[in-house]
Amino acid sequence: MTKTTGVGRPRASGAAASKREARLAVLDAAGELFTGAGYAATTTRAIAERAGLRQASLYYHFPSKEDILAALLEDTVRPSLDVAGGLSAEHAPVGTRLWALAYADIHLLGSARHNLGALYLLPEISSPRLARFRAERAELKRVYGALVAAAGVPGDLSGIRTDLVFGLVESIAIVRRDRPDLDVEAHAVEGADSVLRLAGLGEPDAGLRASARSLLES
C-alpha cells in the first residue's frame, strides 16, 4: 500500500510508516524498562504507556511480553551474524576476520541505546519463545569457534577458549553497568586485541586493525 506525493518515487504510506514507528517505540520503551526496572517488574501496560500507545496496539505487534524480549534480543545478535556472514566470503587472514567480528560485536553491544546484554542472564531466556534468539546466538558463537580453531588453538582446548572469547565479548554488558562513562570505541579496540591474544595470535598491530576496519566497510 503506497501513495505518490506529486513527483518522485512512491513512498511508504503514512499507515505503514506509523506501524513501523509504533513497533520501534514499543521496543525502545521495553528496552528502557527491562534494563532499568527489570523484566519481571515491567508490565505490558507500562510499556504501552511509555511508548505512547494503547495496550491493544501493543498486542497487535507483540502478543506477549516474551515476544518483545525476543525481538529486542534478536536485534543484539543479528547484525553481528550479518557481519560474520560477510566476513566468511573474504579471503583475509583469520586474525583480521576475528578482530573485525569481535570489534563489530563489542561495538554493537556497547553502543545500543539500552544495555540489552544485561538481559542475557534472565531465567526467561530458556523460554520456548526465545528459541530463535538462542539459536542465532549459538550460531554466532559457532562462527567464533570456527575462527578460534582456524587460528590454531588445539582441538581439545578450542571449546573452552571459544567460551572465554565469547564471554569476553559479551562482558561489555557488565562493563557498561559499572562505567556509565565507558569509551565504547576504545573498549572495542582493546577487546578485539584481547580476543586475538586469547586465540594465540599474539599482539595485533596497526596494520591488522586497519585491514579489519576496511573489511567491515566493504
Footprint of its own copies (CB under 8 A): 35-41, 118-125, 157, 160-161, 163-164, 166-168, 170-175, 177-179, 183, 186-187, 190-191, 194, 197-198
Burial of 15 (C-beta count, 10 Å sphere; 0-12/13-18/19+): exposed
Whether 205 and 193 have beta carbons less than 8 Å apart is answered as: no
Instruction: Quote the least distance from Cβ 61 to its own copies, whole Å.
Output: 24
Nearer Cβ to its own copies, position 61 or 107? 107
Whether 205 and 127 have beta carbons less than 8 Å apart is answered as: no
Nearer Cβ to its own copies, position 25 or 119? 119
Whether 98 and 208 have beta carbons less than 8 Å apart is answered as: no
Nearer Cβ to its own copies, position 18 or 43? 43
Instruction: Quote the least distance from Cβ 35 to its own copies, whole Å.
Output: 7
Nearer Cβ to its own copies, position 53 or 149? 149
Instruction: Quote the least distance from Cβ 153 to its own copies, whole Å.
Output: 10
Q: How many alpha carbons fall within 13 Å on the CB side of residue 146?
A: 12
Instruction: Quote the least distance from Cβ 62 to its own copies, whole Å.
Output: 20
Nearer Cβ to its own copies, position 64 or 218? 64
Residue 153: DSSP 8-state: -
Instruction: Quote the least distance from Cβ 42 to its own copies, whole Å.
Output: 9
Tell me how crowded residue 85 is: count the other CB atoms within 10 A of its CB: 11
Burial of 21 (C-beta count, 10 Å sphere; 0-12/13-18/19+): exposed
Nearer Cβ to its own copies, position 22 or 164? 164
Whether 90 and 215 have beta carbons less than 8 Å apart is answered as: yes
Instruction: Quote the least distance from Cβ 92 to its own copies, whole Å.
Output: 23
Start-to-end C-alpha separation, the chain: 34
The dihedral built from the CA positions of residue 111, 55, 39 and 179, taken in this order, carries a sign that is positive
